[in-house]
Amino acid sequence: MFSIGELSKRTKVKVPTIRYYEEMGLLSAPERTEGNQRRYTNEGLERLSFIRHARDLGFSIEAISSLIKLQQHPDRSCEAATDIASSQLAEVRAKIKRLRALEKELARISKGCDGRGMVEDCYVLASLADHSRCDREH
């Protein structure tokens, strides 16, 4: 059995976040001692590790909740889990595409100013003040 502090140390999830996951129903409410302290089992540790890993991969709370519900039915097809992961992958790819566009625009803006002039003539500041100076939408 683990205290909430020990669970936090082992999973690198902050105590308030653990409590939040309990409130959201992602993590089952643990047993309590006579002093009302939470006591988590290995199952709680494994569940929190799962949640942490899924959050690290960018899954939403809703997606994680769906994945946890799927885990409770080991005899079912894993198609829904694959769909959830594929959806997350599509979101990550879309973010990467947006970030690459931002990178190109920032590189272009940065190259427009050598840093030797005066602020009143700064291309970086002028570009930030006037979106129409951008080459593309971002």
pLDDT, tens digit, 9 for 90 and up, residues 33-51: 888 888 999 999 999 999 9
Q: Is residue 53 assigned to a domain?
A: yes
Query: 15: which residues sit within 8 A by CB, 6+ positions away?
Result: 4, 5, 8
- Give how far the C-alpha of residue 24 lies from the chain's centroid of Cα atoms, to the nearest Å: 16
- How are the residues of the chain apportioned to helix, strand and coil, as percentages rounded to the nearest 5? 65, 5, 30
Q: How far is residue 42 from each of residues 6, 89, 107, measured CA to CA in Å? A: 12, 30, 49
Question: Which residue range(s) make up the domain with 109?
Answer: 80-133
pLDDT given at position 13: 96
Q: Tokens 């500041």 belong to which residue?
A: 125
Q: Is residue 138 assigned to a domain?
A: no
Find the CATH number of the domain harbouring 19: 1.10.1660.10
Query: Same domain, yes or no, for 41 and 8?
Result: yes
Number of domains in the chain: 2
pTM, rounded to two decimals = 0.79
